[in-house]
Amino acid sequence: MPEKIKLAYLLAGGCAGCDMAVVDLSETLLDVLPHLDIVFWAPTVADVKYKDLEAMPDKSIDLGLVSGMIRLAEQEHMTRVMRRKCKALVALGACASLGGIPGMANMHTKKDIFDTAYFDTYSTDNPEGITPQTKCLVDGKYELTLPEFYENVRPISAVVEVDYFTGGCPPHHSFVGAALMAVLEGKLPPPGSWLTSGKAVCDVCSRNPGLKGQERELIKEVRRVVDGQPDQEKCLLQEGYICLGAVTQGDCNAQCPGVNIPCRGCGGPIPGVKDFGLRAVSAIAASMADEKLVDQIDCPAKLFYRYSLPSSILGGKLK
Amino acid sequence: MKRIEINPMTRLEGHGKISIFLDDTGNVENAFFQTVELRGYERFLRGMPIEEVPRTVSTICGVCRGVHYTASVKAADSVYNVEPTPTARKIRELFLNAHYVEDHCAILYALGFPDFVAGPTASPAVRNLIGLIEIVGVETGRIVLKKRRSAVRILEMLGGRPIHPVAALPGGWSKRVTEEERQEILALSQDLVELGQMTLQVFDDVVLKNKGYMELVLGDIYKVVCNYAGTVDDQNRVQYYDGTQRIINSKGEEIGRFQGKGYLDFIAERVLPWSYLKMPYLKKIGWQGVEDGEASSLYCVGPLARFNVGSGYDTPLAQEAYLKMREALGKDPVHNILVYHWARAVELLNAAEKVRQLAGDESITSDDIRAPLGEAVGEGVGIIEAVRGILIHHYKTDKRGIVEEANLIVATTHNKGPINVAVRRAAQSLIKDGKVDEGILNMVEMAYRPYDICLACATHTLPGRQPVQIDIYDSQGRNYQTLKNF
Amino acid sequence: MSDWKPNIIVFACNWCTYQGADLAGSLRYKYPSSINIVRVPCSGSIEAEYIVEALHKGADGVLVGGCHPGDCHYKEGNHKALRRFNLLHRLLVDMGVEPERVRLEWISGSEGKRFAQVMNEFDATIRKLGPSPNGRNGNA
Ligand code: SF4
Ligand code: SF4
Ligand code: SF4
Ligand code: FES
């Protein structure tokens, strides 16, 4: 292990859940800290400003972590700065790697989103029929500006080259710890890969009929979790609860099926898959006993692309 | 006053932004706190089955990991017009209280205490989590982190995941608590209560016993006079999971109470051309602009609001701490915003005691975790007292429970007006004759930090320093100086 | 816009639809030059990715042609194709693709004439719809 690894952390457009996963390392964090020289962690832990990061020599930081997706110019800019300064760049979590849940906004136009937020919601009071403006004059004298709201959300790989991807929304703190250790010990796969055990959620799910030496049966009816209480042992998918565990990386140890809830794919696609949603479509369709059943799946785009719409081939709804 | 030059948009996006305008003499004429991001959840929830909503809206904020989740599942209950089973209710309440402990702990230690422990004018380099650990010692830091982890562990056991949980379902919870789990939670809850006691002790030692700090706490710089809203039980004691929302005016008189959809009678959100975040106000008073004082229609929420609205807490140790607070502060509403941190410390203990109570109740392991669901009635409101204040989730669905419309009012949004006033007041008291320096930035930050503006809920933040840029304009509208903490 | 010509991709199963296209050619049943045929082993081998990739790269319409039910050379391939296609179709409609742009047809090796008819009809449909929205404003 080298003496000290220089580390930088940037939160782009996420919910800070990935950051909390790092905080949740708790005492482990204190154990790792001596091995780290945190040169930038905006804006929490280290008091280093954006401009200081910009002033650092290129490639002077060993490892950069970026969580969150890109919606605004600043997020894009800072992600690019991180790329220049860091030898290795890791996309931490579903937002950074795939676009994440906020990426579902790509199903709607900017106008739709504004109309909902500023006109249609019940408690909205908008007597003058206005929307926030990038430039406006308040009381005739105070000029105020706002950043532009981009049309779409993007994963960070859309603006920079990413060395390693990690899934999870957020990644489990023990997985964050393991990934950090792998980096500290230099045990890394080739650049461009996902840091993952490589196993699917199904592979680590105790419900998997295959692991119990049973045959997988085809689905005969589609159920929502409000329709019934799943058996504690049986495969959720086989019972008709659409579960995406077959195409999702299982670094979470199948946490959702563990509490009787189907997987929604936050771990990201299993290796070799370019478009998570399309692979999920194939896997789910293949598990159905007949073709009519697929009509019972509600809002397929927001199910199959729950965490990955911006990184899909189409990137979002065609507008 | 006019601006003659428009600077290109500075690269401050997705964070908070403060613009301060000076008059001819270099004193502050006005200030604006702008929120500059919008993510569109209200729109993209449409079309999703209601049972998928809790795990989805949870990602509005990873710091508030338990609240959007809980409010939306309560809304989902009412979409099906069903009450959760008694067991499920206990599990949810236990879950929410464990989250309170973990979140208040992160906020106090990462955000509140550094100001006091290191000193309000200390260099920002030590006014942060790592600086704090250095000052209080790694061992203390370790104890705090370890005890906080006990809360995270409870969240994971109940919710299925430590962050963005998945086990809540309309009418119940997806997995029962086993007796072994209950025993484990009960044991962990001891850590939480100790964490609460220890935290109050730190507050006592560092703040209450320091005369200089107390002058700051009780002085006029950090003071906003407005209305308050918070959730109480039938004895007016502070509640988190469920209760009645009570509103009082700045003198402490009750203005009204609401539940469920009744929020629409009291709250309206004004669209402002200069912020992506709307600004709520009390409908009955009517929009009075961004001003505090007795006539104000602004109200605030969160620990201080709960302290003002309620008549105490429902657990013995917290109640004891409450009485001590009242003794020091009097019985009228407290408008000094640094008291937020004090109330936060008391709540941490209150929530910890509740976790212990609930885990001590053997019936929580019963297997009636789900109420049967019929057809959806098509509309549901879920309101909880989130860590940062009242949180409202409101959905319309079709008969199958597919979301057609959504309206969310998050805690930080309620506080938007008061925060704006707090920042303006601090700037006015601190910037004189055009003299501006970095120390002022620290002090202005202290004006919004008590609210623990979780812009993640509107945008995002970390349990640390809220990234904020302050642009100061002279009377000609020229950019005079820019301060930023990121 | 007047000189716009649709770009249509037809994934044709080697054992039936592709033979149908061949037959159409030798019998001189005309079909439009907008049709680009890609020969595949079986309709069941068309991954959802191929269809979407084609749309993304500028196809204005995509048609998958397979053997009639019961006739698949690999037995179950076309059933699998049907289930997958139905679900993909719903997904694509969600994503703003006009439903008529993506189509599945069973055309056997002896249906040369039908092959030409289907192609003419599909070409007409796509012409009516105009260029694909993906082509109009590119990808996110
Ligand atoms: S991946 Fe999930 S936890 Fe991480 S920033 Fe995005 S929404 Fe938050
Ligand atoms: S489909 Fe879901 S429940 Fe079934 S084995 Fe895979 S992960 Fe487990
Ligand atoms: S089971 Fe699926 S959705 Fe749940 S944590 Fe694991 S990868 Fe994420
Ligand atoms: S071989 Fe023609 S569809 Fe399978």
pLDDT of residue B460: 30
Q: What is the pLDDT of residues C49-99, one digit of tens each?
A: 999 999 999 999 999 999 999 899 998 899 999 999 999 999 999 999 999
Is the Cβ–Cβ distance between B296 and B255 less than 8 Å?
A: no
Cross-chain Cβ contact A285/C86 below 8 Å: yes
The count of domains in chain C is 1
- B462 and A16 within 8 Å at the Cβ level: the answer is yes
Report yes or no: B454 and B64 within 8 Å, Cβ to Cβ: yes
Distance (Å) from CA A148 to ligand 1 centroid? 22
Judged by its nearest atom, the ligand closest to the C-alpha of residue A243 is 2
Is there a contact between A282 and C48 if contact means CB atoms under 8 Å apart? yes
Strands annotated E in chain C: 8-13, 35-40, 61-66, 102-106
Q: How far is the CA of A19 from the centre of ligand 1 (A)?
A: 9
Give how far A316 is from chain C: nearest CA, Å.
Answer: 7
Report the pLDDT averaged over residues B19-41: 77
The number of residues in chain A equals: 319
- Quote the ipTM score: 0.92
Tell the burial category of B22 from Cβ atoms under 10 Å away from its Cβ (0-12, 13-18, 19+): buried
User: How confident is the model over B106-160, as pLDDT tens digits?
Assistant: 878 776 676 666 555 555 555 555 666 666 667 777 888 888 899 999 999 999 9
Nearest to A314 among C52, C80, C86 (CB): C52
Minimal Cβ distance to B14: which of A38, A74, A143: A74
Residue C1 counted as domain residue: no
pLDDT digits (tens, 9 = 90+) for B178-223: 999 999 999 999 999 999 999 998 888 878 888 877 887 888 878 8
Choices 3.30.460.10, 3.40.50.700, 3.30.200.20, 3.20.20.370: CATH for A5-101+156-194: 3.40.50.700
What pLDDT, on the 0 to 100 scale, is given for residue B427? 81
Q: If you average pLDDT over residues B265-274, what whole number do you get?
A: 85
The minimal CB distance from A291 to the residues C52, C86, C140 is found for C86
Chain B contact for A2, CB < 8 A?
Answer: no
Best probe residue, ligand 1, of A169, A307, A311 (max atoms within 8 Å of C-beta): A169
**Ligand 2 atom with minimal separation from the A246 CA:** 6
What's residue B90's pLDDT? Answer: 97
* Closest chain C residue by Cα to residue A274: C49
Give CA–CA dist A71/A80, Å, rounded.
Answer: 14
pLDDT in tens, A251-273: 999 999 999 999 999 999 999 99
Tell me how far apart the alpha carbons of residues C86 and A227 are, in angstroms, rounded to a whole number. Answer: 24
Task: Assess A159–C contact: CB distance below 8 Å, yes or no.
Answer: no
Find out whether A29 and A116 touch, Cβ atoms under 8 Å: no
Closest CA to B435 of B120, B122, B26: B26
Pocket test for ligand 1, best of A67, A166, A264 (most atoms within 8 A of CB): A67
Q: Give the model confidence (pLDDT) of A197-232 as tens digits.
A: 899 999 999 999 999 999 889 999 999 999 988 999
Name the strand (E) or helix (H) holding A40: strand A36-42
Instruction: Answer for the pair A265, A281: CB distance below 8 angstroms, yes or no.
Output: no
Q: How close, in Å, is residue B352 to chain A by CA atoms?
A: 18
Mutate to test the pocket of ligand 4, among C13, C18, C105, C106 (most ligand atoms within 8 A of CB): C13
Between CA C97 and CA C103 the distance in angstroms is 12
Q: Measured in whole angstroms, how far is the alpha carbon of residue A214 from the centre of its chain?
A: 33
Q: How far apart are CA B150 and CA B195, in angstroms?
A: 10
pLDDT, tens digit, 9 for 90 and up, residues B58-68: 998 888 888 99
Output the DSSP codes for A83-134.
HHHEEEEEEEHHHHHH-TGGGGGGGS-HHHHHHIIIIISTTEE-TT-----S
Q: Is the dihedral of CA A303, A308, A310, A311 positive or negative?
A: negative
> For residue C138, is it within any domain?
no
Mean pLDDT of B290-303: 90
- The domain in which residue C116 lies consists of 8-129
Rounded CA-CA distance B384/B371 in Å is 20
CA of A84 to the centre of ligand 2 (A): 41
Q: How confident is the model at residue C138 (pLDDT cuts 50, 70, 90)?
A: very low
- B23 or A184, which is more confident? B23
Name the closest-CA residue to atom 6, ligand 1: A95
Give the confidence band of B11 by pLDDT, cuts at 50, 70, 90. Answer: very low
C140 found inside a domain: no
Q: Is the bond preceding residue A310 a cis peptide, omega within 30 degrees? A: no
CATH classification of the domain holding C56? 3.40.50
Q: Which atom of ligand 4 is nearest to the CA of C43?
A: 3
Tell if the CB–CB gap between B48 and A252 is shorter than 8 Å. no
Tokens of A293: 């059943």
Q: Where is pLDDT greater, at A205 or B7? A: A205
Taking the C-alpha atoms of residue B305 and residue B227, their distance in angstroms, rounded to an integer, is 8
Which residues of C fall within a CB distance of 8 Å from A286? 80, 83-84
Buried b (16+ CB within 10 A) or exposed e, B141-177: bbbbbebbbbbbbbbbbbbbbbbbbbbbbbbbbbbbb
What does the block give as tokens for A255? 């946490």
**Separation of A67 CA from ligand 2 center, angstroms?**
28
| Residue B20 pLDDT class (50, 70, 90 cuts) | confident
Bond preceding residue A43 cis, omega within 30 of 0? yes
Which atom of ligand 1 lies closest to the CA of A102? 7
Of residues A154, A291, A317, nearest to C96 (C-beta): A317
A27: nearest CB among B34, B127, B142: B142
Residue A36 token pair: 């780290």
Taking the Cβ of residue A271 and every Cβ of chain B, the question of whether any pair is shorter than 8 Å is answered with no
Could you give the percent of chain A with pLDDT greater than 70? 95
Measured between alpha carbons, how far is B223 from B217 in angstroms, rounded to an integer? 9
Residues of chain C positioned with their CB less than 8 A from the CB of A314: 52, 55-56, 95, 134, 139-140
Write down the pLDDT at residue B429: 81
Mean pLDDT of B218-233: 89
In chain B, residues with a C-beta closer than 8 Å to the C-beta of A239 are none
Q: Is A237 in the pocket of ligand 2 (CB under 6 A)?
A: yes
pLDDT of residue B465: 39
User: Where does the pLDDT of residue B452 fall: very low under 50, low under 70, confident under 90, or very high at 90 and above?
Assistant: low
CA distance B410 to chain A (A): 12
Comparing A176 with B433, the larger pLDDT belongs to A176
> Which among B59, B145, B463 has the least Cβ separation from residue A101?
B59
State the SS3 of chain B: CCCCCCCCCCCCCCCEEEEEEECCCCCEEEEEEEECCCCCHHHHCCCCEHHHHHHHHHHHCCCCCCHHHHHHHHHHHHHCCCCCCHHHHHHHHHHHHHHHHHHHHHHHHHHHHHHHHCCCCCCCCCCCHHHHHHHHCHHHHHHHHHHHHHHHHHHHHHHCCCCCCCCEECCEECCCCCHHHHHHHHHHHHHHHHHHHHHHHHHHHHHHCCHHHHHHHHCCCCECCCEEEEEECCCCCECCCCCEEEEECCCCCEEEEECHHHHHHHEEEECCCCCCCCEEEECCCCCCCCCCCCCCCCEECCHHHHHHHCCCCCCHHHHHHHHHHHHHHCCCCCCECCHHHHHHHHHHHHHHHHHHHHHCCHHHHCCCCECCCCCCCCEEEEEEEECCEEEEEEEEECCCCEEEEEEEECHHHHCHHHHHHHHHHHHHHHCECCECCHHHHHHHHHHHHHHCCCHHHHCCCCCCCCCEEEEEECCCCCEEEEEECC
pLDDT tier for residue A40 given thresholds of 50, 70 and 90: confident
Helix axes B129-136, B138-159, angle to 10 degrees: 130
Name all residues whose Cβ lies below 6 A of ligand 1. Answer: A 14-15, 17-18, 67-68, 93-95, 100-101, 169-170; B 59, 62
Q: Is C65 in the pocket of ligand 4 (CB under 6 A)?
A: no
Report whether pLDDT(B434) > 70.
yes
Ligand 3 centre to CA of A239 (Å) is 18
Q: Which residue of C has its CA nearest to A276?
A: C49
Q: Which ligand is nearest to the CA of A100?
A: 1
- What is d(CA B73, CA B274) in angstroms, rounded to the nearest whole number? 33
Segment 113-132 of chain B within 8 Å of chain A by CB: 124-125, 127-130
Please tell me the distance from the alpha carbon of residue A109 to that of residue B446, in angstroms, as a whole number: 38
Ligand 4 pocket, residue C114 CB under 6 Å: no
The answer as to whether C40 is a domain residue is: yes
Residue of B nearest to A242 (CA): B52
pLDDT of residue B425: 84
Please write the tens of the pLDDT for every residue from C96-125.
999 999 999 999 999 999 999 999 999 999
**B149 near A CB under 8 A:** yes
Query: Is the CA virtual torsion C56, C59, C61, C63 positive or negative?
Result: negative
Select the more confidently predicted residue: B416 or A171. A171
Select the residue of A154, A286, A318 nearest C95 (Cβ to Cβ). A318
Query: What are the pLDDT digits (tens) for B375-414?
Result: 999 999 999 999 989 999 999 999 999 999 998 888 777 8
Tell how far the Cα of B422 is from the centroid of ligand 3, in angstroms: 42
Contact A13 B149 (CB under 8 A): no
Subunit contact B270:A298, Cβ cutoff 8 A:
no
Instruction: Give how far the C-alpha of residue B425 lies from the chain's centroid of Cα atoms, to the nearest Å.
Output: 21
In chain A, ranges of CATH 3.40.50.700 domains: 5-101+156-194
